[in-house]
Structure 1
């Protein structure tokens, strides 16, 4: 017992009074964290000086987070810094670095560790203060894990480098984070530990202020800027931009109605759009359009900011097609902007439906420079019915569509985001009945809406 007390005293002596630190010799690190827990719950905690005003000194964070951060085992935070401001090239570099980091953590000696999504943010909020990250938990507390992480950081020769922090507990059951810094000529060294304390959940999920520049682009130029930053390493980005440049900056809808039909996979969307276009003698269009389908695989393998810029610009190509077709006939569109936005929101906003931006938030507003449809119909079926329809189809699906099947919380976030869209909003249609009944319901809604317009 006396030995344990002496050992505890020695450990406490190693934990000096914390002070603010910069991240690995680069820029100041955001000091609040949102950790995604099992079941998609979020735990918020703060480190060091950001802890001021968030909790009493020495207060423990959420016990679910404490179980991941503290012993037994050992946890490490890895976060990707982003240069301040709205520089698209810096955002793209950080997003690709984060994706590369995740891929490397899932193989080799580190693949035995558990990974949890981690967001680092400034407690004051605002645009540009967000860092994507990951919490790596080693249940065995193996020294090989630390060595592998430092070797991994050494492989990043260009800025930005991921920031590495190591969590530790003390005999008083308090938690600390000890950053690693790269010192010139001295290699990696740990610096002074800083206390980990609980932090209140912010009013708005920390990723939301960044969404207009990283996933839900409010206008064409915002998406263009992202793909411009990609042209040095994605040849297809230049081809895509050339195609978009051929589309007029502003297009007007013709005199005939434009109907968009949205819905998750296996809600009958393809069948209904074809049947409606036949019944109305309408032109049937799809988003993304066929003219860019050959590049989908390339962009689907990229981080969200690049993938969503690609699909956003695809909507502007479709808008140009809608403008031409609606001059002479009705137009039915299989998916459009709402799909692009809802999947981006559901993917980027970690946690549950509770953490989505509230109804009437500007993120749900239609882009002002994108041609608006007259009516948007959202086909829905029960999760059970959807699963029955999916089984045996064997169709190739995107990463998000695959996740819809495996992750019910992700599916719920997509569905709620659809329902919160405004200007125009979605008219929900129960697509569970037989095809003929659903078709009659859809045609009735279109007829009623066109009479009122």
Structure 2
């Protein structure tokens, strides 16, 4: 669980953006959630493990031991709450949830902790709702927590708040009470779903499969992120994206984690083949990259997805004259997005062959994609020797072995085209010769 540090008062920054229509939309969304409440499954991340539970009224005593894994060794004064964030506006909801973590850290009292949680309807796309599970460990912290939660509800923000309590001291049954809706439900453990719940909302939220879908999301955030307008001005028009033809010269993509030797290899290939070297995201997006790296996943992923389409237009302009070498392309965008959205072990990833790994139908397909692989310890050593500042995701790769494994596995599952792995532990010259052999065989250069 996240530990809270200090207590201050604040108001959510989105209130000034809301309109009467938006508030009505949020109300309809809440009612839609409640209409299928008994079909929903809830999950809480506890100490690196995901615990699932569901509504099951009138079954006292069911799953006492499993429920204790969520609520822990129940303390006399402990109180439990959940916050689920949902509105009719995907971007509003994403930004609200993204900033809610910081607000909880700042506003809730000491002796209060929280963990990520979500709610979803199994096998129903776009049914995932994210939020947080809270535990207040003293009468003072629970009183302050409840007061803050009631204040936030009065702001008409997209919060659905629940409390959790035992039916009585001698009963192992837990009750979920939905605030402002006067609903009580018994809850019992649930089996883990066949696929990780995050996969329900991946399409065109974390991974984009068309230029139009990514651009439409980006256009909606211009009012709240002025920099988005500058990015939109750089995008190709629909006709340019649709008017695709087979490149005259091969397009070769180099993929891999940082410090696997991509920069050295791409520059060597450029010189040996007389090729044009491009990078994704393209340099024209550099002024806004740090800005969108601070945004929630849906906007960050949209930014990088659109960067791929700008790169594709640059490729078309060059392939009539020379081969093109690209330092990262859509594989990176998709692999990092999937591995970030889907937590836990590799088995939680979408199954091999899933539509989530398919190449966008309107994006140029490379002639060859080479994935450079490297032993994790050697990669760490190289990163240290370079002395450069790590990106947030690279830092996560170093700290979280499961995240690294998910990224690597997602790379390998993307189709159209698939990656061909090359061991990058040899000398730069040996790796270059290996890749040149692949290019000769696959691209006839």
Q: Using structure 1 for the length normalisation, give the TM-score.
A: 0.84
- Name the structure 2 match of 1:249: 241
Unaligned runs of 5+ in 2: 1-26
Q: Secondary structure at the match of 1:244?
A: coil
Q: Which stretch shows the higher mean deviation, 270-279 or 150-159?
A: 150-159
Whole-angstrom CA distance in 1 between matches of 2:109 and 2:432: 52
Report the counterpart of residue 368 of structure 2 in structure 1: 375
Measured against aligned partners, the alpha-carbon deviations of 1:391-438 in whole angstroms (never above 9, x if no partner) come to 243323332222111111111111110011111111011111111111
Distance, in Å, in 2 between the alignment partners of 1:378 and 1:111 is 47
Q: Which stretch shows the higher mean deviation, 289-298 or 392-401?
A: 392-401
Does residue 77 of structure 1 match 2:82?
Answer: yes
1:43 is the counterpart of 2:51: yes
Q: Distance in 2 between matches of 1:294 and 1:369?
A: 26
Question: Aligned runs of 1:20-169 on 2, under 5 Å?
Answer: 26-29=31-34, 30=37, 31-39=40-48, 41-48=49-56, 58-60=61-63, 63=66, 66-68=69-71, 71-72=74-75, 73-83=78-88, 90-110=89-109, 112-123=111-122, 125-138=123-136, 140-152=137-149, 154-155=151-152, 159-169=156-166
**Gap change, CA 1:279 and 1:153, over 3 Å in 2:** farther
SS in 2 for 1:107: helix
Instruction: Give how far 1:143 is off.
Output: 3.3
Provide the secondary structure at the position in 1 that maps to 2:130.
strand
State the shift of 1:236 in Å.
1.2
Give CA deviations for 1:222-246 in whole Å, capped at 9, x if unaligned.
1111111101111111111121145
- 2: CA distance, partners of 1:24 / 1:192: 17
The corresponding residue for 1:10 is none
Distance between the aligned counterparts of 2:412 and 2:102, measured in 1? 34
How much does 1:164 deviate? 1.5
Aligned counterparts of 2:433 and 2:295: Cα–Cα separation in 1: 40
Give deviations 1:329-371, integer Å, cap 9, x for gaps. 0100000001111111111112221111000001001000000
1:21-52 deviations in Å (ceiling 9; x for gaps): x999754245311222323x322111356xx9
Q: 1:95: how far off? A: 0.3
Q: Quickly say closer, same or farther: Cα 1:294–1:390, change in 2 above 3 A.
A: same
Other structure's SS at 1:295 match: helix
8 Å CA contact 1:27–1:81 kept in 2: the answer is no
SS at match of 1:266: coil
Supply the distance in 2 between the matched residues of 1:422 and 1:28 (Cα, whole angstroms).
35
User: Is contact 2:292-2:300 (8 Å) kept?
Assistant: yes
Matched pairs, number: 409
Matches within 5 A, 1:188-227: 191-227=182-218
User: What is the alpha-carbon root mean square deviation over aligned residues?
Assistant: 2.4
> 1:192 offset after TM fit, Å?
4.4
1:297-308 equivalences in 2 (<5 Å): 297-308=290-301
Higher alpha-carbon deviation: 394-403 or 305-314? 394-403
With over 3 angstroms needed to count, the CA separation of the structure-2 counterparts of 1:159 and 1:422, relative to structure 1, is farther
After TM superposition, the score normalised by the length of structure 2 is 0.85
Instruction: Give the secondary structure class of the aligned counterpart of 1:391.
Output: helix
Q: Which blocks of at least 5 consecutive residues in structure 1 are unaligned?
A: 1-21, 84-89, 183-190
Instruction: Please give the alpha-carbon distance, in whole angstroms, between the structure 2 residues aligned to 1:303 and 1:374.
Output: 33
Q: Which residue of 2 aligns with 1:363?
A: 356
Aligned to 1:418: 411
Q: 1:111 Cα shift?
A: 6.2
> CA, structure 1 residues 166+24, in 2 after alignment: closer, same or farther (shift >3 Å)?
farther
Poorly superposed stretches of 4+, deviation over 6 Å: 22-25
Instruction: Please name the residue that 1:339 is paired with.
Output: 332
Q: In structure 2, what is the Cα distance between the partners aligned to 1:394 and 1:152?
A: 45
Is the CA contact 1:58–1:195 (under 8 Å) kept in the aligned structure 2? no
Superposition pairs of residues 178-193 of structure 1, within 5 angstroms: 178-181=177-180, 191-193=182-184
Is residue 347–residue 410 contact of structure 1 (8 Å, CA) maintained in 2? yes
Q: Helix, strand or coil: the match of 2:245?
A: coil
- In the superposition, relative to structure 1, how do residues 158 and 323 fare at CA in structure 2: closer, same or farther (>3 Å)? farther
**Do 2:83 and 2:132's aligned partners in 1 also have CA atoms closer than 8 Å?**
yes
